[in-house]
Structure 1
Amino acid sequence: MKTRRQMKIQEIINNQVIHTQEELAELLRKAGFDVTQATVSRDIKEMGLIKVPTSEDDYRYAVPGTAQPLSTPDRLKRRLRETVVTVNDSENLVVLRTIPGNAQALASLIDHSNWEEVIGTVAGDDTILLVVKPAGAVPGVRERIAKLMQ
């Protein structure tokens, strides 16, 4: 049952813009699945679904790697200003702490901004780890983030 439900979730988010867990739960119920918001939340976590920006200045659920989020410099600048709480670094890593629930969307914007020094990001709920190469580029990355947040 869980596998069928998660396959249906993937089908729904690939074919429709889903903004909230409640929307997804309602569509699953209409498709014949008896689900609660908590069940949908667990499925989203297990499936590794992320929220990506839409053209309407909003966010939708997506399977990692399938969505093409808009990554304009203005959008990145705004999201950094609105969601970043702290910036710290160690060796070749930069850690951004965000308001809860914003790390994955912001990490996606950073990933699609093609910063040569950032070879990848890892995001949780409120923390983003930027892997920087070479380590000597960390001050430049921090400076870029600081400028964008002004």
Structure 2
Amino acid sequence: MKLARHEKIIELIRQYDIDTQEELAARLNQAGFKVTQATVSRDIRALKLTKVTVKDGKSRYAILDHGSSELGDKYSRVLKDAVNSMDTGQNLVVVKTVTGMAMAVATALDALKWPEILGCIAGDDTIICACKTSEQAVSVVKKLNEIVGS
């Protein structure tokens, strides 16, 4: 049932500009899936959906897709707007962000799918990215600096 619901969610967000969990829940209920807002919230996390700004300034849900230029632009913007500083410690990259933006930046970093990054852990304003080697950590900081313009 969850797989079918997830497929329907993907179909709906591709078909409509859905900007709230309540709207998504209503469309799922119309399609025969009896869901609550809490279920939709879990599905959004599981599917790694994010909100993107569309041309009229409104937002809508979109699928985190590394190949999408729309989301690629969004990731670049998130990184440029939210990253304050970066440093390395052995094989770890520590990224300081604007307060409350660490999760968004970590999501962007994960979506980049850089082979140097094994994974990220985000708090409120700090992210720790684990790399295999200290050399890879230095490489990640250099690549991030190119994106954020530092």
TM over 0.5: yes
Superposition TM-score, scaled by structure 1 size: 0.61
**Matches of residues 1-150 of structure 1 in structure 2 within 5 Å?**
4=1, 6-17=2-13, 18-45=18-45, 48-51=46-49, 60-62=61-63, 68-70=67-69, 75-96=74-95, 98=97, 99=101, 102-103=104-105, 105-111=107-113, 114=114, 118-122=116-120, 128-150=127-149
Give the distance between the partners of 2:11 and 2:128, measured in 1 at CA.
31
Percent identity, aligned pairs only? 28
Superposition TM-score, scaled by structure 2 size: 0.61
| Unaligned ranges ≥5, structure 2 | none
Moved over 6 A (4+): none
How many residue pairs get aligned? The number is 138
Distance change (3 Å), C-alpha of 1:20 and 1:103: farther
CA RMSD of aligned residues (A): 3.8
1:25 CA displacement: 0.8
Task: Identify the range of structure 1 (51-60 vs 128-137) with the bigger mean alpha-carbon deviation.
Answer: 51-60
8 A Cα contact 1:88 1:94, kept in partner: yes
Give the distance between the partners of 1:100 and 1:60, measured in 2 at CA.
19
Give the distance between the partners of 2:117 and 2:81, measured in 1 at CA.
24
| Unaligned ranges ≥5, structure 1 | none
1:15 CA displacement: 1.8
CA offset digits 1:12-58 (Å, max 9, x no partner): 2332325542232111221234433223213444xx22025879586
Give the distance between the partners of 1:140 and 1:21, measured in 2 at CA.
38
8 A Cα contact 1:121 1:128, kept in partner: no
SS in 1 for 2:68: coil
Distance change (3 Å), C-alpha of 1:96 and 1:110: farther
